[in-house]
Amino acid sequence: MVMIEYSKEIEEKQKKFLAMSEEEFDKYMCELYPIMFKERNLPMNQTCMCWGFNIGRGWQWILANLCEQLEFINKETGINVVFEQIKEKFGGARFYFRTELDESCGIKYAQYQEKAVFWRNIISLMINSAEESCDYYCAGCGETKHDMITIGGWVFDLCEKCLEKDKNRREGLKAWREKKELKNTAIEMMYRGNKEEIDQLKKLVKSFSSRISKEDKKRQKEYDKSLKASKKELEKALLLAKKKVSNAPDKK
């Protein structure tokens, strides 16, 4: 019963923040947590927070939930969290921060020093946990995702459904799916230990690798051809320039 209620609460939060535009979310967070995001409008030579909340809508509710918990810690301990940068990196969320003493809370600096390390460790664990939570949700639509998608060396924070909408990524997504299918088949066949099936898998892998290799060679040929044509055009331009210089009248 508790888990059902908790999942409903998450669902409601997701809907709320998915409905917000980037500008609305920015304003909402800065007004609700002015201390945490006090560097939001500082110049870039002072903070990286000037770039704003560089995460997808699907992760906004996780950050908002984290800030709600950090606000409670501030009220109980007098320790503030100040965010220095919020961004996506390598397909995951990164929340960079520092801690400060809230002078209005009446805690002496010596008392703060005694417990600062203890509370900073707790805050670090909370922020790391929030970052890890983002790995399991699509940054675009907020739905749960189970695989980290890599295309051409890039790691994406989106699910397959969201990436499918990008026409430029469809071919790469198709190749990633084929690799995933081969990997899953390999694990299943190795588990069974059937020699015939393993041999069949090796042929499939070889065929797939050969096709990828052919595509790479084709792209390389096109590049070489384009480079050769550019060199010829450059040589022509240089020859023409030399002729113009040699035919130009001498200035005495």
DSSP structure class, residue 144 = B
pTM as predicted: 0.64
pLDDT score for 156: 76
Output b/e per residue, 213-238; b: 16+ Cβ within 10 A: eeeeeeeeeeeeeeeeeeeeeeeeee
Over residues 156-175, the mean pLDDT reads 76
What is the per-residue pLDDT across 59-118, written as a single tens digit (0 to 9) for each? Answer: 999 999 999 999 988 888 888 899 999 998 888 899 999 888 766 655 555 555 667 778
Residues 6+ away with beta carbon under 8 Å from 159: 138, 140, 141, 143, 145, 149
- What residues does each domain of the chain span? 2-134, 166-233
